[in-house]
Amino acid sequence: MHVIVLGAGIAGSLIAQKLARATSYQITVVDQADGPATQTSDHQLALVHPQVSKKSTKLQRFTQIANRIVWQNFQPSIRYAGVYQPILKEDWVNCETLSELILTLGFNLSEIEPLESKAALEKLNINRPGLWFNTSGIYDLKKLSTQAIETLTHHEIIWGEKVIRIQKNNDLWQLYNNKNEKICEGDALVLASNYQTKELLASIEVELPLRPVRGQLSRFIIPKESYVGKHLPWSATRGDGYCSPAKEWDPENWLWEVGSSYDEDIDVLMPSKESASANQKKGFALLGIAERPEYNFLEQSNFVGIRSASKDRLPLIGPVNGQSGLFLATAYGSRGLIWATLGAELINAYLATFFAGTDFLAAGFLTAGFAGEDLTTLEVELSSAVSPSRFFAGALGARTSNSKPTFPSGFKER
Ligand SMILES: Cc1cc2nc3c(=O)[nH]c(=O)nc-3n(C[C@H](O)[C@H](O)[C@H](O)COP(=O)(O)OP(=O)(O)OC[C@H]3O[C@@H](n4cnc5c(N)ncnc54)[C@H](O)[C@@H]3O)c2cc1C
C-alpha cells in the first residue's frame, strides 16, 4: 500500500505525518521545493481559534474540535498562547449571559472566558469588552510542517521535482515532470498542492472550482513611547483581521504584526502599499484606536501568500469522483491549520476505506483524545461538508460509479 502525498506545505506534511504514525503504508512525499513549507505555509503567524456565533453552527463545531486537537498536539510549539476577540459595545451584554451562551455552545469556561473592558485592559491592555480564548493561539506553520516532515525517517521524500501531470496506469497513480519522466507511482495519490491542484486535475480533464486568494501580512515597527505603542495589545487579537501581541524589537520599539488582506482572484505575490495601509487600519480598529495622520507607520517587512478557496469557502478534502485512489486536501483558505488538522484525520480515514475496498468511512476518526464524547454525527457532517463531490456531482456525477460521499454505516446523507 503505497501512498503519494504531493505537497509539503502544512496540508501535505500533517497528512504524511498522520499516515506514518497510524498506518504501515509506504509513503512518498513529493514537492517542487528543496524543503517543507516554502509557499503559503512559509508563514509564522497563523492564528487558530474556534469560530463562535450566537447559535451553534457546523462550522463552529468543526473549528471547536480542530482547535482542541491543535492545542493538544501543537501547544508545545505555539508562538503566542491565548487570543482575544473584542466585542462591539452595541453587541456586548454581560459576562454572566455570555458565560451561559459559551456553555450552551459546548465550550467550557477554561476554553473561552468573557471579559469586561476593565478586566481586558488589566490583562491584555485592550480597553474593550470581549472573549478571551485561553486554549487558542498563534502558530508557526513552517515550523509545524518541518517537524511533521522530520518524522518521516523511514519514508521517501522527493524534493525539487515539479509535477506537470498525473495519470492512472495499471491501477497506479503516476506523477510526471516537465521532461515527461515518471517521478514516482503509487496505489493512492493525495493532492495537497494548494492552488496548483487545479492545474494538476486539469491534466486528467477534471475541472476544479478553485480560486486564488492573495494575502499580505504586515510587520510594523512602532515606537514604544508613541500613543499607538502604549496601546498595543499584550496578546494575539482578532476581529476583522488579526494582530500579534507587541513584541520587543529593540529598546525603543515594538514589533507589531497585522493581517491580512483577502484579495480574491489575485495570484500575484508582489507586496502592495494598499494592503499595508489596509492592514494598519484593521489593526487600529481591533484596538479601538481612531486613525490619525501621525499614526502612519511604514511596513517594515511582510509576508505575501496565495491561499486557495472553493466557492463556498469550505475546503476540498476527500476522494475525487470517478478517480479511484485519488484524493484532495486543498482549498484551506484562511484556516490553514484548522483544516490541515481535520484533513489529516479525514484523509487517513478515507485511505483506510479505500484499501479495505469498502464504501463506508469508519466512524471514530475524530475521537482520539476525546474519550467519552460521541463525535460520530460531527464526523458525518464534516465528511459531507468538505467532500469534493459537492462540486463534482453535477459535472461528473453522471459518469462516475464511486461518486457518493461515504458515511459510517447507519447514517444517511443530509
Ligand atoms: C497572509 C495570509 C495569512 C494567513 N493567516 C492564517 C491564519 O491566521 N491561520 C491559519 O490557519 N491560516 C492562515 N493562512 C492560510 C494558510 O497559510 C494556508 O491555508 C496554508 O498555508 C495552505 O497550506 P497548503 O499546504 O495547502 O499549501 P502550501 O503551503 O502552498 O503548500 C503546497 C505545496 O505543494 C507544492 N506544490 C504545489 N504544486 C506542485 C507541483 N506541481 N509539483 C510539486 N510540488 C507542488 C508547493 O511547492 C508547496 O510546498 C494565511 C494565509 C495568508 C496568505
Nearest CA to ligand 1 atom 4: 334
Cα angle 359-363-365, degrees, rounded to a multiple of 5: 110
Query: Which ligand 1 atom is nearest residue 10's CA?
Result: 25
Please give the CATH number for the structural domain made up of 2-41+143-210+313-399. Answer: 3.50.50.60
List the one residue out of 214, 267, 238 whose CA is nearest residue 45: 238
List the one residue out of 406, 384, 386 whose CA is nearest residue 339: 386
pLDDT tens over the chain, length 414 residues: 999 999 999 999 999 999 999 999 999 999 999 999 999 999 999 999 999 988 888 999 999 999 999 999 999 999 999 999 999 888 899 999 999 999 999 899 999 999 999 999 999 999 999 999 999 999 999 999 999 999 999 999 999 999 999 999 999 999 999 999 999 999 999 999 999 999 999 999 999 999 999 999 999 999 999 999 999 999 999 999 999 999 999 999 999 999 999 999 999 999 999 999 999 999 999 998 888 888 888 899 999 999 999 999 999 999 999 999 999 999 999 999 999 999 999 999 999 999 999 878 888 888 765 666 778 888 999 999 999 999 986 544 433 333 333 443 333 333
Provide the residue ranges of all domains of the chain, joining segments of one domain with +: 2-41+143-210+313-399, 79-140+212-309
**Same topology for domains 2-41+143-210+313-399 and 79-140+212-309, yes or no?**
no
Q: Establish whether residue 7 lines the binding site of ligand 1, counting it when its CB lies within 6 angstroms of any ligand atom.
A: yes
- Alpha-carbon torsion (88, 292, 264, 34), positive or negative: negative
Ligand 1 centre to CA of 194 (Å) is: 6
The strand pairing partners of 329, in sequence order, are 317
Q: Establish whether residue 31 lines the binding site of ligand 1, counting it when its CB lies within 6 angstroms of any ligand atom.
A: yes
C-alpha cell at 341: 488538522
Selected from 2.30.110.10, 3.30.9.10, 2.130.10.10, 3.20.20.100, the CATH number assigned to the domain covering 79-140+212-309 reads 3.30.9.10
Ligand 1 centre to CA of 349 (Å) is: 23
Whole-model pTM?
Answer: 0.94
How far is residue 16's CA from residue 334's CA, in Å, rounded to a whole number? 21
Are 58 and 189 a contacting pair, CB within 8 Å?
A: no
